[in-house]
Structures are given as C-alpha cells and as structure tokens.
C-alpha cells in the first residue's frame, strides 16, 4: 500500500493551491514541510472508487479502494452468509464519495435501507464491515490510528478474556473445565469463559423444551465449580448459555452459581425479550450480560432504561460497526453499565474492537478466542508485525487506521467455494 506516497501527493496538491509556499519546498525543507503538515487536514479530492469483498467461514471481509492508492479493510460476522450482492449494492451507493465522512456515509446507507432491513440482521452486519473499512481508510489517509479519530484513548492496552471453546457438544467433564481454566491461566489470561449449553446432554428430557433438568443444572454447576477450584478466587470466570434456555432455568442457574462469584452469566434466554431479562437480573446477584444479538444502539436502549442488563456486550463486527459501538458504550455509560464487546472475528476484527475499547471510559473486557492459538488460518489471513496478546492484554495499535491488514493470498485457500473473491 502506498500510504506514505499518497499523503505526499495530497500535500503537493495543497501546495499548488497555496497551502504551502512552493519556493520553500525542496530537499530537506520539503521533508520538513510534510512532517509539519497537520495530520487532520483531510485531502479534499480523496474519493471511493470501488468496493470488493471476500468470504471465509464465518466472516465477510470488505475492502474499499480510492483514487489515491489507499484502501481500507473491515470485517463482518454471523449474519453475513449469502450477502455478496448486498455488499455490492451498498458499495455502489458510496462510490465517488469521500471516505472521510464516515458518520455521514453510515447514516446514508442506514437511512437508504429503511425498507430493506436496515434495522438489524444481514443489512447491519454488512454495514458494520463497510463502516469499519471506512474508519481504516480514513485513518490511513490522515496518518492516524482509529482510536484517535474516535476522540482519543483512555488506555494503552485492552484486557481480554479467553473463550476456551470447550464446546458442550463434546460432553466435557468438570475435570476438562479445570484443565482448560489452568491452561488459560498459564497462557497469562486472568479471565476465562466457558459454554454451559449442551444440546446432547443425556440428562436432557426434551430437545424442544428449554427447561433444564435437575441433572443438567447440577452438571453446569459442577463444571464451573471445578474451574473455580482449579484457578482460585482471583481469576474471573464467565459462562455463556447462548440463549438456549427459558426464564425458569435462567433464574435457577443464576441463583445457584452465586457462590462461584462469576464475572457474568451470558444470554441464558433469547435476546429479544427485554422484560424477561429484567426478571432474571432482579432475581440474582450473578451479573447478567446481554448484547451479541442486538443491533444498533436502538437495540440496547430499552434494556438499559429498565435495568434489565448488568453488562452490555455488542459485537462490533455485527451491531453497526465501530462508531455505533462507541455510541452503545456511551449510552451504557449513562447508566453506569460496563461495556464488554463480543468478538468472534479474525485479528482484524479484534484490533478494530480494541480501538473502540480504548476510546470509551466504561470498557470492561473484550472477548479473545482460543482458536487464535490453535488454528493456523488466523495467522495466515492477516498481516501484523506486532505481538497479538500478552498476559491477557492487547496493546492498542499506533499504526494509521486499524493497524492490521488482510492477506488476500493467505485467505484464498480458506475462501468459500463458489463465492466471488475480491472481484
């Protein structure tokens, strides 16, 4: 990418327009003039020329090109399957426009899709990828990291918890939970997450009824109790139920887990019924965390107003993007509710989220996936020359834009068959 060269072309054009004195620009004076130029002086002729995308399992990657050899990359997750034509359609709406007007373009795309599903789901997930790519592009054009464009940072590093990926379909035992907890602690993490929902639990009475049996409840408690005993009281433990149970089960298990001092219990019931969450939150001292299946700041308003949630966890690759993530955090901050984003993306998505986490006061913790350490694909599909995570923290990138690039060559062998790949 010719970011440095392009920035100089901006300044050369500015000189022609009279922003710099041409006679003073030669040799070392030229270099110094470039360095003195305010980073926030946006090049007026920067325009979007093309929007392309590629898919790997679980993720959409969007790349936005400009007339100045600068591009930006963004990622969307979950609600992105089969969205190629939506990406191309939304991309056509921003071609010819300045990518520096990120909020304006976001609003243009959101409002123009009012009758096309722009309230949630696939539309917003694709919009999230496009919006993130715009922030990356703007940061590169202005030679600033994204957190700076969001207003600056409150912290230099962001705490993450390790999702152990100890999936319940494999029938893990309490001993497995204890071992996974110890392994995460050895890797330097001071916060760990486990899944409690187990569709093939032999003690489940009915695949369609969402009420957990007494034996299921005992299994959940025994698994988490083993993890707590293994790592002691100073490590945070949280548990995810993926919205697979009913309110009776949620209230029962939340109460039963209180002695284990969880960091939170995540989405014990489906996300759409805010009133049910209010009843659950009021019934227990176990913190209740909700939000990975909510879209836009509107999706968090009611739950915050009613006190139905203790911690919000929007997915920034799905909820509307980085600017919308900051708006959700600021909204939650009015209710003194912590912000702990969900994150199941690549390292591009992780660092994108890190910029938002750095830029809001009420950040608590960010999700980190154990697959980053076990699956080579995640190293192959991105380019980043720094350390990914160290002792449970990610250092905020100081590079222009997000600071992480996609590696298209590395992605090719993981691309979804039959789908256009950055064409």
Give the pLDDT of residue 26: 41
Task: Kindly provide the residue ranges of all beta strands, DSSP E only, lying in 229-381, ordered along the sequence.
Answer: 236-240, 264-266, 288-290, 311-312, 366-369
Structure tokens at 61: 């990657």
Give the pLDDT of residue 35: 56
Superfamily of the domain at 149-402: Enolase-like C-terminal domain (3.20.20.120)
**101 contact partners, CB below 8 Å, separation of at least 6:** none
Give the pLDDT of residue 200: 85
Give the pLDDT of residue 68: 93
Tell me the three state secondary structure of residue 273: coil
Domains 48-143 and 149-402 are alike in CATH topology: no
Tell me the three state secondary structure of residue 328: helix
326 within 8 A of 103, measured Cβ to Cβ: no
Q: Which of 416, 414, 411, 419 is nearest to 73 (CA)?
A: 411
Q: What is the tens place of the pLDDT at every residue in 356-374?
A: 999 999 999 999 999 999 9
Q: Which of 75, 68, 79, 72 is nearest to 45 (CA)?
A: 68
Residues of the chain short of pLDDT 70, as ranges, are 1-43, 168-169
386 within 8 A of 395, measured Cβ to Cβ: yes
Distance CA 35, CA 295 (A): 41
Give the pLDDT of residue 32: 53
Cα Rg of the chain, angstroms: 23
Direct distance between the N- and C-terminal alpha carbons of the chain, in angstroms, rounded to an integer: 18
Distance CA 132, CA 72 (A): 8
Superfamily of the domain at 48-143: Enolase-like, N-terminal domain (3.30.390.10)
**Annotated domain spans of the chain:** 3-36, 48-143, 149-402
Give the pLDDT of residue 5: 45
Q: What is the tens place of the pLDDT at every residue in 303-314?
A: 999 999 999 999
Please give the DSSP secondary-structure letter assigned to residue 241.
-
Beta-carbon count within 10 A of 364 CB: 21
Structure tokens at 99: 């990518």
């Amino acid at each position: 990418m010719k970011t440095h060269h392009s920035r100089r072309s901006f300044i050369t054009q500015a000189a022609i327009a009279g922003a710099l004195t041409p006679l003073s620009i030669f040799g070392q004076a030229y270099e110094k003039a470039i360095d003195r130029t305010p980073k926030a002086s946006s090049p007026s002729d920067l325009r979007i020329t093309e929007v392309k995308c590629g898919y790997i399992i679980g993720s959409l990657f969007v790349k936005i090109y400009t007339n100045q050899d600068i591009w930006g990359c963004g990622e969307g997750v979950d609600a992105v399957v089969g969205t190629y034509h939506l990406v191309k359609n939304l991309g056509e709406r921003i071609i010819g426009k300045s990518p520096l007007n990120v909020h304006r373009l976001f609003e243009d795309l959101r409002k123009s899709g009012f009758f096309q599903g722009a309230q949630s789901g696939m539309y917003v997930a694709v919009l999230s990828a496009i919006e993130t790519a715009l922030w990356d592009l703007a940061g590169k054009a202005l030679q600033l990291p994204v957190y700076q464009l969001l207003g600056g940072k409150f912290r230099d590093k962001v705490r993450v918890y390790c999702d152990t990926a100890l999936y319940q379909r494999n029938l893990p035992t309490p001993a497995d939970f204890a071992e996974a907890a110890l392994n995460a602690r050895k890797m330097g993490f001071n916060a760990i997450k486990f899944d409690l929902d187990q569709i093939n639990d032999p003690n489940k009475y009915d695949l369609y009824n969402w009420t957990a049996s007494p034996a299921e409840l005992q299994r959940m408690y025994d698994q988490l109790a083993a993890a707590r005993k293994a790592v002691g009281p100073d490590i945070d433990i949280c548990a995810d139920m993926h919205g697979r149970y009913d309110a009776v089960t949620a209230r029962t298990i939340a109460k039963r887990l209180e002695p284990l001092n969880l960091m939170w219990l995540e989405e014990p019931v489906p996300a759409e019924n805010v009133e049910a969450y209010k009843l659950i939150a009021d019934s227990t001292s176990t913190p209740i965390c909700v939000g990975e299946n909510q879209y836009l700041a509107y999706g968090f308003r009611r739950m915050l107003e009613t006190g139905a949630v203790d911690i919000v966890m929007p997915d920034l690759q799905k909820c509307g993007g980085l600017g919308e993530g900051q708006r959700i955090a600021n909204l939650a901050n009015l209710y003194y509710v912590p912000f702990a984003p969900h994150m199941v993306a690549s390292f591009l998505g992780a660092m994108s989220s890190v910029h938002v986490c750095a830029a809001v006061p009420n950040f608590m913790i960010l999700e980190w996936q154990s697959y980053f350490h076990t699956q080579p694909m995640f190293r192959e599909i991105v380019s980043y020359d720094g350390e990914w995570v160290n002792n449970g923290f990610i250092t905020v990138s100081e590079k222009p834009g997000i600071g992480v690039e996609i590696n298209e060559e590395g992605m090719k062998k993981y691309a979804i068959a039959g789908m256009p790949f950055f064409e």
